Structure 1
């Protein structure tokens, strides 16, 4: 994948405010996310990462063990569940849109076509969800396996973040170059008292 400059610039902001790296909720795997997310809170929409979250990296199907959980998530959120991936639906990795079309077919879920890689595509996400009755960032939960893209994007949006810490069995986070690093950073920040970013109630 080409260098993700939006992720690089966003991570530089963590030097000033480390809270952008701290998730609101952490769960080992996709199968263990609560449905609904953040029970008792006004969470109307879910932005879902693909690679190493609910699917093996670079595949366009739901990991077999996660199909039941995925079906429950889709049933609960309907068209307010949207896949936002840096490998499907972007002009960088999927210029023709073929990957997005295939992923939508296999998951029965819309894949956002976005020009800017995560974490820089918040305005495109807001535009999509606003048309579906979402009025403020605090009503959105971002679910993904990467701190540097998924959690940071949620933080900058003012949305809730759900970190899938262990990845998928196809590519356990502990065996990636980033998994142990991100886990170590989050653990260190939480140990030092850093909390997740406040939610935004500003109209989108």
Structure 2
């Protein structure tokens, strides 16, 4: 039986050291670590390596289940993979041991709460953005399309496809920019008539 530790943090400026120390103290024979978001399992090479390596009787050890995933769907997929290999999952900071019925139930409950926490964070972020927009503080990202250049090329007689090619942007972006110009011109004409 091999105890394989898996540690993860979301950003490059976060430290893996506390998790790695806890996993070593829990008796892990091998520890794999990565700095990737837990909102998806896509692109998490170290997690995939651990799951591929698991054999019957092995244990995948984490400090908390949110180190594995932040969505119940991903957690359940990981749990199915572990179970199919005849291995089990344990956590150092939570009473999770998927080799027992109580451990499986607790694992499922914590998965629901991890996803709930992620959803709450997204809601708070959207509320913060809406508040900042209302106060005029949040401007969003800078436009990637130079509308002045689009307007100048249009004035030179270029069509949308040629403008898109010249600026290295999509035709739909050109149409939106031109549409915005037309809306602005219509608004200005309306103001002059009013």
TM over 0.5: no
Q: Which gives a bigger RCO, structure 1 or 2 (Cα 8 Å, sep 6+)?
A: 1
Structure number, greater radius of gyration: 2
Q: What TM-score do the two structures reach when normalised by structure 2?
A: 0.29
The structure richer in helix per residue is: 2
